[in-house]
Amino acid sequence: MKILLAEYAVGTGLDGTLLLEGKAMLRTLANSFHRLGHEVTYLSAGSILEQGTAVDSNMDDFESVLERTASDSDAGLVIGPDELLEGLSRIIEENTANLGCSPESVRMCADKLECTEILHSNSINAPRIVNGCQDGSFVIKPRYGCAAEDIIISSTAEHREGFIATEYIEGEHLSMSIIAGNYPLPLSVNKQFIEIDGTKPGSCIDYKGNIVPYRTENETELFDIAIETVRALKCNGYTGIDIVRGDKTYVVDVNPRPTTAIFGLARTMRYEIGQLLLENLSGELPDKICIEGECSFTKDDIEDMI
């Protein structure tokens, strides 16, 4: 099969940590599909991978190149910022078999306010949305945003336009990786390295890396929550779910796309991630997969590991 992979930072020429993380995810997927014998193409503004064929793109023509390349592919997957991913996913879906979430699902996940409301309506614990001038401990984050970008802890719920305030949940920061679809397949619970610069007003929340997988006696409960979450939001393909485990387990974010944890999964999972994505198209996923050992990494050392 001809498989198209498009990662926004690599395809538009962004730099810094975004490019390193994007290249790590893209490389992981390209290597997996290559090992399976598929023909891989990927959009790139300069980065070259060991496997696959690069198709030139940049910030100005990323969408047009994506559309043209998708129409000549058997299946495709796009990874991008939450605020752009709906439109990019629509290009994939209209031109080839989409290995990821539908545009509608992406929209629900990307809108942190709507996502929280959907979770609550399905009896899934999520931090409470806070409105008005209240004092306490709150998380102020963009209504549309990815990872820990521009997220702070505040002693007031006041926020500027385009942001939302939620209650601050004290607890253990974890994530869950799952292949979503008609028969969701949980893959792993992961430990997140989250750095919080104190709990004083204006403290930043910064994602630093992962342990994949993270062994916990609560794995079955967490996998059940992951399945309920992706069903509520109609997710498809690889989906990452961020949680905080405090007095209860709270879903704090849903990423309708591959996340950096896929980098660790590829090193511990005894199954090709590319095979899972393709089998998900026909609903023929295995009942479970085997994960051996663990992979611990930070954003700072990804460059040395890719």
Query: What are 264-292's pLDDT values in tens digits?
Result: 999 999 999 999 999 999 999 999 999 99
Q: Which two tokens stand for residue 146?
A: 């990815």
Per-residue pLDDT, averaged over 210-236, amounts to: 97
Same domain, yes or no: 116 and 88 = no
N-term to C-term CA, the chain: 25
Asked if the model's pLDDT at residue 199 lies above 60, the reply is no
Give the pLDDT score at 144: 87
Asked if 260 and 186 sit in the same domain, the reply is yes
pLDDT tier, 132 (very low <50, low <70, confident <90, very high otherwise)? confident
The residue with greater pLDDT, 197 or 51, is: 51
Q: How far apart are CA 14 and CA 46, in angstroms?
A: 10
Residues 84 and 48 in one domain: yes
Q: Do 72 and 117 lie in a common domain?
A: no
Burial of 83 (0-12, 13-18, 19+ CB in 10 A): middle
Which domain range does residue 91 map to? 2-99
211 vs 261: CA distance, rounded Å: 8
Segment 53-82 shows an average pLDDT of 97
The confidence band for 301, taking pLDDT boundaries of 50, 70 and 90, is confident
pLDDT at 202: 60
Over the stretch 249-259, which tens digit does the pLDDT of each residue have? 999 999 999 99
Structural domain count of the chain = 2
Residues 115 and 213 in one domain: yes
Considering the entire predicted model, what is its pTM? Answer: 0.93
Q: Are 82 and 213 in the same domain?
A: no
pLDDT at 148: 55
Judge whether 161 lies within some domain: no
Amino acid identity at 245: R
Q: How confident is the model at residue 95 (pLDDT cuts 50, 70, 90)?
A: very high
Same structural domain, 89 and 215: no
pLDDT score of 152: 84
Residue 120 has pLDDT above 80, yes or no: yes
The C-alpha atoms of residue 88 and residue 79 are separated, in whole angstroms, by 8
Evaluate whether residue 151 is within a structural domain.
Answer: no
Cα–Cα distances in angstroms (integers) from residue 59 to residues 63, 138, 145, in the given order: 9, 35, 19
Angle of helix 112-121 relative to helix 219-232, nearest 10 degrees?
A: 110
* One domain for residues 51 and 116: no
Based on the fold, state whether residues 216 and 70 are members of the same structural domain. no
58 CB-contact burial (10 Å; exposed 0-12 / middle 13-18 / buried 19+): middle
pLDDT at residue 201 greater than cutoff 80: no
Residue 34 shares a structural domain with residue 177: no
User: Would you say residue 260 has pLDDT above 80?
Assistant: yes
Confidence of residue 157 (pLDDT cuts 50, 70, 90): confident
Q: Are strands 2-7 and 39-44 parallel, antiparallel or unpaired?
A: parallel
Average pLDDT over residues 213-237: 97
